[in-house]
Chains A and B, each alone.
Chain A
Amino acid sequence: MRDDDRRTAFEALLREHRKIVLKVAAVYARGVEDRRDLGQEIALQLWRSFGSYQPERPFSTWMYRVALNVGISHARRERERPQALDASLLDTLGGGSPIDEPDERLRALATAIDALGPLDRALMLLYLDELPYAQIAAVLGIGESNVGTRIARLKQRLRRDMTEAASP
């Protein structure tokens, strides 16, 4: 494939699946600027790694792997647990546009994500994106049965956290 064709193919795939980049950046970044930087970092790494993508396999699996690897490494570099979903996503839109939906659901999501380590965040992101267990297993590199067990434990933990938060 010629370089131009390769770039065109990559840009088309990135456009089609760009929400993966946006969501991973939202889950692992610490603020507006950080989220933007992480999104660019992921896009750049996707382009650099594009040579390793095998077209006969699902692009989304490959993309989730690269994006999550960059996101997790970014969060590790921060040395602290990253704060999920920055204020711009919770309170206001860029440029001060009015919010067109209530924040409670996003806040509940942010609280749930905040309580998780980088690997559990990846699992939760994939689960909430409704990927089949087989694809989650392929992205994370664990067995399908392990995916089921981990998701069950994650739900259990979140339920416990929510109950504790709700109790006076």
Chain B
Amino acid sequence: MTENGMEFDELKAGWAALDRRLTQVEGRASGKPGTGGVGAELRPLVLGQAVQMVFGLALAFGAGSLWVGCRNLPSLLVTGLLLHAYAVAMIVAAARNLVLAGRVNQAAPVLELQHRVAALRAWRIREGRWFGIVGCFMWVGLVIWGFALLGVDIVAARPLFVASLLATAAVCLAVFVVVSRLDRAPEGSSVRRAAERLAEVARFGDEPGA
């Protein structure tokens, strides 16, 4: 018997021992239901995306009304267009998440499912970063819009006040960047880990010699 064969005989014997041990330790496989795996993990995501889509539609409608109604006021026109673009991005991102989540089928071949889950995760992380960065400034647009609803063009009336809001937004951005960096685990950022997971799945599926 080769050295390699001996080692694998050991592992196979260990596997047979595990088989017997499991029979002794476990009564039954089923019982009180657990938390539900990836499916359960995805349910809050699906619900969250549905809410995001509704919020995005409402914002798109409101922001659209703002810029269409204020085309002669450059500050409100720009604010309305930016909010509108943000709302559309929210809708598109939510739709994409729902499509990706809908493609996660637990009975799919392992590599296929792991690739889909990794792709969804990678997309969610990138999307979260971008929405976080843009969101640091978008609330300023909502404040400007709020004043516009009261009939005040706050940019024209109190430019220093708007400048202070923008400065606060810049501080928000700095905090967001710092927190994102602190969130990094020793093995790298979540973005890198997600990319590595995708690469790992792709490598595993590579045909020999391909």
A interface residues (Cβ-Cβ under 8 A, vs B): 11, 14, 18-19, 21-23, 26, 37-45, 48-49, 52-53, 62, 65-66, 68-70, 72-74, 76-77, 79, 85, 88-89, 93-94, 97, 100-101, 105-110, 112, 117, 119, 122, 128-129, 138-143, 145-146, 149-150, 155, 158-159, 162
Of all chain A residues, which has the CB nearest B117?
Answer: A73
Contacts A23-B19, A85-B18, A93-B25 supplied; 15 other A-B pairs, CB < 8 Å = A14-B30, A26-B18, A39-B26, A44-B34, A44-B36, A45-B38, A48-B39, A68-B110, A101-B17, A105-B17, A106-B14, A108-B11, A112-B11, A141-B109, A150-B204
In the complex with contacts A89-B25, A106-B14, A72-B107 CB distance below 8 A: no
Given A73-B41, A146-B206, A139 and B21 contact (CB-CB distance below 8 Å): no
The binding surface of chain A is classed by DSSP as helix
Let me know if A145 and B208 touch, CB within 8 A: yes
Say yes or no: is B147 at the interface (Cβ < 8 Å to chain A).
Answer: no
**Chain B 193-204 per-residue mask, 1 if CB under 8 angstroms from chain A, else 0:** 000010011001
Q: Do B18 and A106 touch across chains, with their CB atoms under 8 A apart?
A: yes
Supply 8 A–B pairs (Cβ within 8 Å), ascending by A.
A41-B35, A43-B31, A52-B107, A69-B110, A106-B14, A109-B10, A119-B114, A141-B111
